[in-house]
Chains A and B, each alone.
Chain A
Amino acid sequence: MAVEPKKKINQSQLQWKTYASKLVEALRHVRKRNGNSSKISPSRQIRETADRTLAIAAKGRTRWSRAILASRRSTTLKKVKRAGLYRLRKPAHTKLVRATKRSSENKTPAIERRVLALGRLIPGGRKMGLPVLLEEAGDYISALEIQVKAMRAIAELIGSAQPSDRQEMQ
């Protein structure tokens, strides 16, 4: 039927459009607040705003969104420090820790490495166990897709406004 696919399309459209509107609102707000000083580069600022808005849109149901909102105050410095820790920490150590669990080691080291890498990618993913991590990954991926769609739409909108402005100015 024509009704159902339309409904589905509208639903998914509604998702990212809702997010887009929230994002624009947040961006304006941040712009307004940014009058005094900004230690962070503007692109990073926008990125963080977008991520936070995404997390807010998730309404805190998922762990990654809570992790994003919890780490709101963290500056880039903290992230650099954390990244350094990752490199320093021996992978063997974490393997050992996991292996001593009661269920013993059921993941090969190759898989374990990838699992850790995935945990690093997903905000707050270090502390999650594997099944939770996989679930969060699914949710996070769909959230990222919504984010990309909305941001691309906004960028195109703004981008298409530019040429006409320049024409006016001349």
Chain B
Amino acid sequence: MDSLPESSTSIPFAQGVSEPFHFGEEIRGFSSENHLDSSSFTALLGLQSSEALVLLHPPISGQNISGKGNSGQNYSTVLNHGEVSTTLPANASLVERAAKYSVFATKAESDIAPGSFSIESNSGDTSGKFAGDSDSQSKEGSYVAVDDRTVTICSREKQTMKRKEADQLKAFERLLQVKAGTKKSKGDVENGRGAGSDENVTRSPEKPAYVHVRARRGQATDSHSLAERARREKINARMKLLQELVPGCNKISGTALVLDEIINHVQYLQRQVEFLSMRLAAVHPRVVDFNFDSFLSSEPFQPFSLGLTASNGVMAARAEEPAWSPVQVNGVQRPWPTATCANQYEGTHSFSVPQNPPPSLANSGTPSLRPNQLKMEL
């Protein structure tokens, strides 16, 4: 019945609304707290040590760190389905360094609760083996890419991620590193690609935040064009995601037309919100009492009309201005106070989502009788 597509994949908002108890959400919570000091994500990790341990799986190619000391630790959070959070770094990434050293040392403090993990980032390394590992790794699920001011943790949900999304994620992370780098030297990034490269692979010095980009065959290796190309790739990856989101965009080719479709879709949705708010405004003042138990309960899906109470607020409105009594959210039931009505409705104001079935069913049972009763009594 709904014309809008169900998109439950790879949307941070969706994650936030539906799963407040996910690990990712906790990270978000912490990230919002530690907003200013981005390096204190290490504190976050320290707190989440046990969970982080669970998430970070044992090393594949054991490159353990030692003595990296105070190398900058930055992580960028990766949401569950492979979408990167918006706190992207502006500055250079240390992913390359992470790839090389698999270090997991904090910036501020040297001791980390989780201990030392070996981190495989798919940013690519000079060794092909590493690349191969990273390729499979992204499917297995957890790695930490070290980056400036952001945390990357791929949760274990990544295991269920489709290959395509994994590729997108990889592409995005690749571009992430490239974008962050100011200077570029030729390195190995495009592991998964078939395009050959005839560039030299050089190592970047440790201290400055260099990003390694491999130029494809026959393309210019100018730093400007490299940056441009990386940026374009990132943009194209995101456009592809958007195309999946907006219905009917898959067949359209060309950036401008796709953008048109996206804009139209956003406008259409906003207009719908506008209409619905007008509708609600027209209806809103008169209906005071709702019983949302049954349709808001998450377990079985029930039709909307169940449990809807006829409002006695309408009766009250005829005599006086509707008085909105405060609503108690968590399952407290009390009779709805009415001054004018002789009948007392028993309204349940609780609409917390997890609801015990018996009370909701009981409530949905009784209010439906009320209108009939009232009718008869009138």
23 A–B contacts, CB within 8 A, in A order: A24-B292, A28-B324, A51-B273, A58-B17, A61-B28, A61-B85, A61-B86, A103-B231, A114-B260, A118-B259, A121-B270, A134-B239, A135-B86, A138-B238, A144-B269, A145-B4, A149-B2, A160-B308, A161-B310, A165-B286, A165-B287, A167-B375, A168-B315
Residues from chain B with a CB closer than 8 A to the CB of A115 are: 259
Most buried by B among A17, A19, A130, A132: A17
Question: Is the beta-carbon distance between A139 and B11 smaller than 8 angstroms?
Answer: yes
Identify which of A13, A135, A143 contacts B298 (C-beta below 8 A). Answer: A13
A151-B276 contact, Cβ under 8 Å, with A17-B298, A138-B242: yes
B295 interface residue per 8 A CB criterion:
yes
Question: Is the beta-carbon distance between A131 and B283 smaller than 8 angstroms?
Answer: no
Identify which of B13, B239, B290, B296 contacts A17 (C-beta below 8 A). Answer: B296
* Majority secondary structure of chain B interface residues (helix, strand, loop or mixed): helix
Q: A residues bordering B, Cβ < 8 Å? A: 8-21, 24-25, 27-28, 31-32, 41-47, 50-51, 57-63, 65, 102-104, 106, 108, 110-111, 114-115, 117-118, 121-122, 130-132, 134-149, 151-162, 164-165, 167-169
Q: How far apart sit A138 and B238, CA to CA, in the bound complex (Å)? A: 9
Q: How far apart sit A59 and B24, CA to CA, in the bound complex (Å)? A: 12
Closest B residue to A153 by CB, please name it: B304
B49 interface residue per 8 A CB criterion:
no
Q: How far apart sit A143 and B277, CA to CA, in the bound complex (Å)? A: 16
Closest A residue to B10 by CB, please name it: A138
Identify which of B13, B85, B305, B324 contacts A142 (C-beta below 8 A). Answer: B13
Question: Is the beta-carbon distance between B326 and A144 smaller than 8 angstroms?
Answer: no
Compute the total of residue contacts between A and B using a CB distance below 8 Å: 256
Question: Is the beta-carbon distance between A168 and B375 smaller than 8 angstroms?
Answer: yes
Closest B residue to A108 by CB, please name it: B256
Q: What class of interface size applies to chain B in its complex with A?
A: 35 or more
Identify which of A41, A110, A143 contacts B13 (C-beta below 8 A). Answer: A143
Taking CB atoms and an 8 Å cut-off, the chain B residues in 287-334 that contact chain A are: 287, 290, 292, 295-296, 298-299, 301, 304-305, 308-311, 314-315, 318, 324, 326-327, 329
Identify which of A41, A134, A157 contacts B242 (C-beta below 8 A). Answer: A134
A42-B304 contact, Cβ under 8 Å, with A10-B298, A61-B86: no
A106-B228 contact, Cβ under 8 Å, with A168-B310, A168-B374: yes
Q: B residues bordering A, Cβ < 8 Å? A: 2, 4-8, 11-14, 16-19, 25, 28-29, 31-32, 83-86, 88, 179, 224, 227-228, 231-232, 234-235, 238-239, 241-242, 245-246, 255-256, 259-260, 262-263, 265-267, 269-270, 272-274, 276-287, 290, 292, 295-296, 298-299, 301, 304-305, 308-311, 314-315, 318, 324, 326-327, 329, 351-353, 371, 374-375, 378
Residues from chain A with a CB closer than 8 A to the CB of B232 are: 106
A147-B273 contact, Cβ under 8 Å, with A18-B18, A24-B292, A137-B266: yes
Question: Is the beta-carbon distance between B311 and A61 smaller than 8 angstroms?
Answer: no
User: Within the complex, what minimum Cβ distance (angstroms) separates A61 from chain B?
Assistant: 5
Question: Is the beta-carbon distance between A47 and B296 smaller than 8 angstroms?
Answer: no
Question: Is the beta-carbon distance between B304 and A15 smaller than 8 angstroms?
Answer: no
Residues from chain A with a CB closer than 8 A to the CB of B278 are: 43, 46
User: Within the complex, what minimum Cβ distance (angstroms) separates B352 from chain A?
Assistant: 7
